[in-house]
Amino acid sequence: MIIRGSFKAALLNWIPAVATTIALIIAWEVLVEVLDVKRWLLPPPSVIGAEIYGSFGFLLRHTQTTLVEILIGFAVSVGLAGLLASGIVWSRTVERTIYPLIITSQTVPIITLAPLLIIWVGTDIMSKVIVIVLFTFFPIVINLVSGLRYVDQEMVDMFRTLGASPWQIFRKLMIPSALPSFFAGLKVAAVVSVIGAVIGEWFGSSAGLGWLMKVAGGQFQTAKVFAAIVLLSILAMALFAAVVAMEKWSLRKYPPTANRVIRLGES
């Protein structure tokens, strides 16, 4: 009964977004027809839907290629961010050495590095994975460092009073306390990972949705470009939803009031 009630509440929360999306799609369809916009310039949603249906197998193969690149890059980012964030919090020397370099690395436009990566690494999957890591690494490590640092000092003192070692404090107190910040970084990274995959495929690839958009755009196959965009959006939303599900599972032991959303104007 509780599960059914929570599922119903989740569906009700999605009604405004779904209704708005449907309204925008209908308005798009009507305006394209009324204004007599050329199909190759801006196809209506019905044409895009027909393209997805007619080329589903073809689009699915390219979607799988992009998804594999994203998952590998995302996993590398999480592992690398975890190691560096732990080192930054654990060691003052590592913080002074590595942390400024991480901040400075974000001043370089990542899109300008993609052609260089093609020259250095080649056009295989590795170049796309590196681009995805460059996009997703920063929000994860910054949020994780912030979460590990801002731990209740009274809790730290209590652990020390009970004879806990630094490693026990880190593992049993700091890591659980940093989980909300960690998942906040993962949510951002889940969305921008799709952007990284597309940019990597634009500059050097023979498969993937980014490559498909580049080729179809050059041939004025606008409906196919929009079909790829729709699938990329679905990928981003699915990754975001997966991170949210992982967050709820990981924080299930925390009191519900700890994650309560506060809105102005509500008592």
Tell me what pLDDT residue 206 has. 79
Same domain, 5 and 54: no
Same domain, 118 and 222: yes
The model's confidence at residue 228, banded by pLDDT at 50, 70 and 90, is very high
Same domain, 91 and 127: yes
Domain membership of residue 232 (yes or no) is: yes
Domain membership of residue 265 (yes or no) is: no
Domain membership of residue 260 (yes or no) is: no
Domain membership of residue 78 (yes or no) is: yes
Cα 84 from Cα 98, distance rounded (Å): 8
Percent of the chain past pLDDT 70, that is, above it, reads: 90
Same domain, 86 and 197: yes
Same domain, 9 and 49: no
Tell me what pLDDT residue 265 has. 47
Same domain, 28 and 133: no
Give pLDDT tens digits for 58-83: 999 999 999 999 999 999 999 999 99
Q: Give the number of C-alpha atoms closer than 13 A to the C-alpha of residue 149, restricted to the C-beta side.
A: 13
Domain membership of residue 163 (yes or no) is: yes
How far is C-alpha 160 from the geometric centre of its chain's CA atoms? 37
Same domain, 127 and 217: yes
Under a CB-based contact definition with an 8 Å cutoff, are residues 89 and 174 in contact?
yes
Domain membership of residue 262 (yes or no) is: no
Give pLDDT tens digits for 244-258: 999 988 887 765 544
Tell me what pLDDT residue 262 has. 42
Coil, helix or strand at residue 58: helix
Same domain, 7 and 136: no
CATH (domain of 108): 1.10.3720.10
Same domain, 108 and 3: no
Question: Pick from 80, 64, 51, 79: which is nearest to 222 by CA?
Answer: 51
Instruction: Say whether pLDDT at 260 is over 70.
Output: no
Write out the two tokens for 198: 């597309």
Cα 267 from Cα 256, distance rounded (Å): 17
Tell me what pLDDT residue 226 has. 93
Task: Give the mean model confidence (pLDDT) for residues 134-140.
Answer: 90
CB-based contacts of 149: which residues, under 8 Å, 6+ apart?
89
Residue appearing with tokens 């599972």: 249
DSSP 108: S
Task: Give the mean model confidence (pLDDT) for residues 33-59.
Answer: 88
As a 3-state breakdown, the chain gives helix, strand, coil percent values, each rounded to 5, of 80, 0, 20
DSSP 262: P
Give pLDDT tens digits for 78-126: 999 999 998 888 888 888 888 888 888 778 787 778 778 878 887 788 8
Cα 113 from Cα 165, distance rounded (Å): 43
Domain membership of residue 209 (yes or no) is: yes
Same domain, 29 and 48: no
Under a CB-based contact definition with an 8 Å cutoff, are residues 44 and 32 in contact?
yes
Tell me what pLDDT residue 7 has. 54
Judged by phi (left if over 0) then psi (alpha if -120 to 50, else beta), residue 208 lies in left
The model's confidence at residue 164, banded by pLDDT at 50, 70 and 90, is confident
Same domain, 113 and 63: yes
Same domain, 137 and 9: no
Domain membership of residue 263 (yes or no) is: no
| Total count of domains within the chain | 2
Question: Pick from 194, 202, 201, 181: which is nearest to 236 by CA?
Answer: 194
Identify the domain containing residue 19 by its residue range.
Answer: 1-36
The model carries a pTM of 0.82
